[in-house]
Chains A and B, each alone.
Chain A
Amino acid sequence: MSETKGTSLELEGIHAGYDGPDVLHGITLTVPQGQIVTVVGPNGHGKSTLLRTISGLTARRAGRIRLGGQDLTGLRPERIAALGLAHVPQGDLLFPEMTVYENLQMGAYLSRDPQQFAALLEDVYALLPRLKERHGQIASSLSGGERRMVGIGRGLMAGARVLMIDEPSLGLAPLVIEQIYEVIGTLREQGRTILLVEENPARVAHLSDVMHLLDDGRLTWSGAPAELLEREELLETYLGG
């Protein structure tokens, strides 16, 4: 991993949307090196669109995105990935007919160095031992929690400078959610740079360095996690308690 201190990912006035009107109305945020920044907010208010816009899947209509100082304007998703951004998308988007191992291999698609691959694989297997057990199994036959782990493992295999994770708790049983957030806790201890998206702030407050509240395509509040949890009126209005 390249170690440039300071800000890793910078967004400035991002507007984006699909066919119709804008979904995001001027998002500005930064993800500093070695921190976990979390965006929380109700479903359907643009959290996934934000990550998709950063990784180039959704067209940006205005604003700038910089990764480690490099401008991502107008780059295609595969170029952005090559510059060191890994995106664990919502719903995993695994390669369903590939084995766990092949999915991880695809995660490291851009690196042609077998030694680096072996090292990354060892890290991922250490972090997610279940994947080692299941390495030969076809992805579509895994349980929901296992699939999520493959998704995260595949993202880590890129050896990227910044990791974006979209709602890792989505659709999982409470016990499994706990396991997944334990994994993210380990990633935090390893000092990784992560942009995390989650619906429920209580689940991620202890993991986050900075939290943003995304409401109807705008960041309506930003600050330390502890502050957000104290602001009951905010939680009430936007997140229904």
Chain B
Amino acid sequence: MSDTTQTLPKAGKTLSGGRIDLLIAALLLAMAIAAPFVIESRYMMGQLILGLFWASVAVQWNLLFGYAGVFSLGQMAVFAVGGYATAMLAYYLDLNIFLAIAAGAVIATVFSALVGLACLRLQGVYVALLTYAIAQVIYLLIVTDTNCFEMVGTTCRQFTGGATGFARFGDFGMRAILKGDWIKGNYAIVLGCFVLSMLVSWIILHGPMGLAFKALRDNQAYAVARGINRFHTQLLVFGLSAFFTGMTGGLYATHFQAIGPGIFSISSLLFILAIAVVGGVGTFWGPVVGTIVLMVADELMREVGSFRSIGLGLIIAFAVVALPRGLVGRFSDIFHKHKS
């Protein structure tokens, strides 16, 4: 590698680090599989599952922003679309929950592709603003929905679930099989899906499309001159990332047996941004590392309760200023300096 990679080092190194990736993956996977046999506390298992949800969304956001250069602030909206679609299909049509999750992922993909058609031709910041605005509009339309769709007992229920959302539309069926250990069954399902999404991301990033992303990110004019269609590539990754984000939304709704408009809140988007920024935008393991760090930090800040959000916001700002490529970027810089 030439010395000019000093300024743009991320891409090339992860490529050559395929073996390192495998090692890290094996280690993490071993820990993740061992966890339910070691951990007895249901609360801890719940937190692990929650961590997997966050990590999954952050991984997909990182794929979009860190690799494809699309700065979207609508990630939680895609997540919510997946969750809502799952809940509504199961609630209204009594669809099998796994089918509903798959359908939710597809609907999220279609939704995202439509958004992409509307805004991917725009410059970076415009994309961010529009995706943010679209997410807010959906949120506002849901919470201000007051039209009665059906009566449940004496209360009226809106088609979109209104301000309360949906609950008790089905679960993974683990309570019937595993009884008290149902949460470990849920964990297995969520972990399996997470591993799948990581695997697909890895394959994509190391295939021709990954090269196209890198070319577009590092030198757009050159990439376009070499026949890479920016719009198509970005739309493709928009859809792909939406599929797994939507799927995670469906899993989330099913695990908690509830979904409501709160998921659109800026603080959940913020948590995703924080995970990616602290871990390292544009690095493969960044979102995973970021999730671990922030879940632990969050756990510690539980003590100070109401100051949690203040702390989270400051952590983000600090990380952007002091760790431009996150903990993983920082670590790999040190690692590579040491080696050379």
Contacts and interface: CB of A to CB of B under 8 A. Distances in A.
Interface residues of A, number: 2
A72 to B, nearest CB: 27
Contacts of B4: 19-20
A152 B74 CA distance: 49
Interface in A193-220: none
A144 to B, nearest CB: 25
Nearest to A21: B3
B3 to A, nearest CB: 8
Contacts, number: 3
A46 to B, nearest CB: 19
B7 interface: yes
Interface residues of B, number: 2
Nearest to B2: A20
A19 to B, nearest CB: 6
Interface string A1-36: 000000000000000000110000000000000000
Contacts of A19: 4, 7
Interface of A: 19-20
Interface of B: 4, 7
A87 B238 CA distance: 47
Main secondary structure of the interface of A (DSSP, over half): loop
Contacts of A20: 4
A20 B4 CA distance: 7
A20 B3 CA distance: 8
Nearest to B8: A19
Contacts of B7: 19
Nearest to B7: A19
B128 to A, nearest CB: 26
B218 to A, nearest CB: 13
A20 B7 CA distance: 10
A20 B5 CA distance: 11
A20 B8 CA distance: 13
A19 B4 CA distance: 8
A59 to B, nearest CB: 14
A231 B4 CA distance: 39
3 contacts: A19-B4, A19-B7, A20-B4
A19 B7 CA distance: 8
B219 to A, nearest CB: 14
A19 B8 CA distance: 11
Nearest to A19: B7
Nearest to A20: B4
A138 to B, nearest CB: 25
A143 B65 CA distance: 42
A148 B4 CA distance: 36
Would you list the 3 A-B pairs with minimal beta carbon distance, nearest first?
A19-B7, A20-B4, A19-B4
B54 to A, nearest CB: 36
A19 B2 CA distance: 13
A237 B4 CA distance: 31
A220 B269 CA distance: 60
B8 to A, nearest CB: 10
A109 B4 CA distance: 38
B42 to A, nearest CB: 54
B6 to A, nearest CB: 9
A168 B7 CA distance: 34
A125 B4 CA distance: 48
A17 to B, nearest CB: 13
A12 B7 CA distance: 30
